[in-house]
Amino acid sequence: MGPGHRRAFGLRLRLRLRELRAKADRTQASIAAEAGVDRAFYVNVGNGTNSISLDEIFVLADALGVDAAELFRGLHS
């Protein structure tokens, strides 16, 4: 996967995080607090400034009330 594909995948993942947060009717602050991360970190993940580790993906998925696999559903296209 080249840099262009990684950027596109990252964008789709960020959009998926927003979609799931909106579906859960939650704020960025509430998701960040439940995940145990700083709100600024969560915002920066959402805008592409921060990378996200696999561990953080699992923590955010839990805070969103979904399985981590749900974050990746449909992102391959």
List Cα–Cα distances, 54 to 25, 27, 38, 45, in angstroms.
Answer: 24, 22, 17, 13
**Can you count the helices (H) and strands (E) in the chain?**
5, 0
Q: With contact defined as beta carbons under 8 Å apart, do 31 and 71 qualify? A: no
Question: What's the pLDDT score for residue 65?
Answer: 95
Distance (Å, rounded) from C-alpha 29 to C-alpha 41? 10
Query: pLDDT tens for residues 8-42?
Result: 888 888 999 999 999 999 999 999 999 999 999 99
Number of domains comprising the chain: 1
Does residue 14 belong to any structural domain of this protein?
yes
Does residue 77 belong to any structural domain of this protein?
no
Residue 5 has pLDDT above 90, yes or no: no
Query: pLDDT tens for residues 46-64?
Result: 888 888 899 999 999 999 9
Question: What's the pLDDT score for residue 35?
Answer: 95
Question: For residue 54, what is the domain's CATH number?
Answer: 1.10.260.40
Question: What's the pLDDT score for residue 31?
Answer: 96
Domain hosting residue 65, numbered range: 3-72
